[in-house]
Structure 1
Amino acid sequence: MPHRYPVREIARQAGVSEATVDRVLHGRPGVREGTVLQVEQAITDLDRQRTQLRLSGRRFLIDLVMETPRQFSGLVREAMEQEFPGLRPAVMRARYHLRETWATDDLIAQLDAIGRQGSHAVVLKAPDTPEVAAAIGRLTAARVPVITLVTDVPMSTRIAYVGMDNRAAGATAGYLMCQWLRHVHADVLVITSSAMFRGEEEREMGFRSAMRAHDPGRRVIEVSDSDGLDATCGTLTARALRDFPDIGAVYSIGGGNRGIVAAFAAADRTCEAFIGHDLGDANRALLRSGHLTAVLHHDLRADMRQVAQSVMRFHGALPGDQPPRVSGIQVITPHNLPD
């Protein structure tokens, strides 16, 4: 059976004779082990170069659709714009559809419009609802793959989820909280932006699970529907502080952390431990000032690489069908804050 590369091409790549390559390909004796490895490496190199040739001149248009606070959408957009130029010879460009709050009908209309306009992929952060899952199904039918980012819509036809293990992230926050409050009597406030985001729900579940395991007597008070915005979070936190005088720690799942800090200051209350997510400018400043104890972070640029690889595999520009790896969870404090 002929090899996928001509013997002459393999020999030129390996720097050996065509007769030697022929003996290696057919498993004949008389070739040193080092030379066999040399020929095998040459074939691997040719495979890699063929992939590069396949990518040369390929252009991909990706639509980023997110319902999220501006701080986080800015981080994702920055990561995308930093990472995509390094993917050459393939060329990727993005269209951005970013809102802090998005009425369901408007979000669905945007997804359907993308399906009509044409796109190589949609990267989506949206609530896990039947309407969103149905819209993903229509995009799939139009040959537009959908990759969910940070929060999943698992009962849909999306081709991949990219992001951290949200349940593990919440459990990490719960473990840290138990350690820091070991000698402190305080209730813990957990704030989410919406009950409809599966990623936030999983973080909250992981947090409660770790608290039950390590500090079962600690009371956890949940506040939802903050939209992750500073003003809303400030109002909801102020109300919770009035209603629950023992609140002394916070796990902020959905953002709005400046509003939370302001509410504690206005109530003249101390926050013994405050854990948040993501390294936007606001959270960096709160870490440096000591208001945030730690931030759970993952590498968004690595996420964007995985997004790009998923898109290229779907369209046959990269070989294989490798699912994205779960993003690693980093615990950031004021002492290891990256540049």
Structure 2
Amino acid sequence: MPHRYKVREIAQQSGLSEATVDRVLHRRPGVRENTRAEVEQAIADLDKQRAQLRLNGRRYLIDVVMQTPHRFSDAFRAAIEAELPAFAPAMVRARFHLWESGPTDQMVEVLHGLRGSHGVVLKAQDAPDVVEAIDGLVEAGIPVVTYATDVPTSSRCGYVGIDNHGAGLTAAYLMRQWLGSTPSDVLITLSRTVFRGEGEREVGFRTALRGSGRTIVEVSDSDGIDATNERLVLEALEQNPAVSAVYSVGGGNTATVAAFDRLGRACQVFIAHDLDADNRRLLREGRISAVLHNDLRADARLGMRLILQERGALPAEPTRPAPIQVVTPYNLPL
């Protein structure tokens, strides 16, 4: 099978002779490893240059659609806007459709109303109507990338974010290590059970904590909004006096801390997600123990890249779940 570049092109790019390049491409013996590496680097450089030519002068409009608390959407919006220039020489713009709470119908209405879009980065409920809306966008030639929480039965072109089940396992591991033999039940807080990512975190956490003898008390449907979450957590703490540890899946951590304070109760271990402004402050103050975090700018870059790949503007590259960072007060990034 002929190579996508002529031997002469690769030779010019690498500074090697055409005969040497030909030997490398046909995997003939007698070629040093560093020579093979030079040829591979030359091909990678040619791929980048070809991509830049495809991008030159092109304009793309990407829609970011998210139902999530403002503290998270604000952080992700900043990440998207910081990464837009990385796709030069193309001009990539973003439109943002962000809200904190609402029924699935609201999400579907927003997705149906998108016009002139070249792709969608989406954080949405895993619900049949949402699947149908995603499939409709894809059929219309608009690729969709799910973010933070997946909708796997849809025709979305990819998922960006952490391995949520693995995050739940990690949280349970830390919880068991830090609590040790201290008797404590554990509160787990979710924003909405319809978000698949949160459900996967919960399943991982429960699985890894099984056999510990600790009761898990669940609070959900707060949408991660502080006022709602504080009321629900306060009720759960009053009904469950043995709870002195928290795994926060869905946010609202300022409210959870406030609920413990109102009852004069100590929280032995508090594990949360996402390094937003609230969690940074709570880490510095020693009110939460650790945050499971991933690089939002890397997520934003990958989400937009997957859309441009789907549109044929960039070469395909393999993807993998974002690595989970365990952030404590002592390794808090600036």
Q: TM-score, normalised by structure 2?
A: 0.91
Q: Identity across aligned pairs (percent)?
A: 57
Match of 2:154 in 1: 156
Q: Note the residue ranges of structure 1 that are not aligned, 5 or more in a row.
A: none
- Mapped to 1, the partners of 2:151 and 2:228 lie a distance apart of 26
2:104 maps to 1:108 = no
Q: CA deviation at 1:34?
A: 7.7
- Mapped to 2, the partners of 1:51 and 1:196 lie a distance apart of 39
Question: Are residues 6 and 191 of structure 1, via their aligned partners in 2, closer, same or farther at CA, if it must alter by over 3 Å?
Answer: closer
Equivalent position amino acid for 2:273 in 1? H
Matches within 5 A, 1:1-339: 5=5, 9-15=9-15, 42-114=42-114, 117-212=115-210, 215-320=211-316, 322-339=317-334
- Mapped to 1, the partners of 2:237 and 2:26 lie a distance apart of 77
Equivalent position amino acid for 1:210 in 2? A
- Measured on the aligned residues, the alpha-carbon RMSD in Å equals 2.6
Q: CA deviation at 1:88?
A: 1.6
Q: CA deviation at 1:92?
A: 1.5
Partner secondary structure for residue 187 of structure 2: strand
Larger deviation, residues 81-90 vs 8-17: 8-17
Question: Are residues 162 and 3 of structure 1, via their aligned partners in 2, closer, same or farther at CA, if it must alter by over 3 Å?
Answer: closer
Contact 1:118 1:144 in 2 (8 A): no
How many equivalent pairs are there? 334
Q: CA deviation at 1:43?
A: 4.5
What whole-Å deviation, never above 9, does each CA across 1:102-156 have from its counterpart, x for those lacking one?
2322221110111xx1211111111111110111111111111111000011111
Superposition misfits of 4+ residues, deviation over 3 angstroms: 1-45
What whole-Å deviation, never above 9, does each CA across 1:177-212 have from its counterpart, x for those lacking one?
111111211111111011100000010100001101
Question: Are residues 71 and 25 of structure 1, via their aligned partners in 2, closer, same or farther at CA, if it must alter by over 3 Å?
Answer: closer
Q: CA deviation at 1:302?
A: 1.1
Equivalent position amino acid for 2:108 in 1? I
Q: CA deviation at 1:59?
A: 2.0
- Mapped to 2, the partners of 1:234 and 1:56 lie a distance apart of 51
Q: CA deviation at 1:216?
A: 2.4
Q: CA deviation at 1:21?
A: 6.9
Q: CA deviation at 1:54?
A: 1.6
Equivalent position amino acid for 1:275 in 2? I
Question: Are residues 2 and 69 of structure 1, via their aligned partners in 2, closer, same or farther at CA, if it must alter by over 3 Å?
Answer: closer
- Mapped to 1, the partners of 2:9 and 2:132 lie a distance apart of 49
What whole-Å deviation, never above 9, does each CA across 1:57-115 have from its counterpart, x for those lacking one?
2222110000000000011111111112122222211000000012322221110111x
Contact 1:127 1:198 in 2 (8 A): yes
Question: Are residues 120 and 24 of structure 1, via their aligned partners in 2, closer, same or farther at CA, if it must alter by over 3 Å?
Answer: same
- Mapped to 2, the partners of 1:75 and 1:60 lie a distance apart of 22
Contact 1:169 1:296 in 2 (8 A): yes
- Mapped to 1, the partners of 2:33 and 2:319 lie a distance apart of 36
Q: CA deviation at 1:292?
A: 0.5
- Higher radius of gyration, 1 or 2: 1
- Mapped to 2, the partners of 1:234 and 1:30 lie a distance apart of 70
Equivalent position amino acid for 1:138 in 2? G
Larger deviation, residues 220-229 vs 43-52: 43-52
Contact 1:188 1:250 in 2 (8 A): yes
Partner secondary structure for residue 255 of structure 1: coil
Contact 1:162 1:326 in 2 (8 A): yes
Larger deviation, residues 261-270 vs 77-86: 77-86
Equivalent position amino acid for 1:297 in 2? H
Q: TM-score, normalised by structure 1?
A: 0.90
Equivalent position amino acid for 2:55 in 1? L
Q: CA deviation at 1:19?
A: 7.9
Q: CA deviation at 1:36?
A: 7.8
Q: Note the residue ranges of structure 2 that are not aligned, 5 or more in a row.
A: none
- Mapped to 1, the partners of 2:310 and 2:161 lie a distance apart of 19
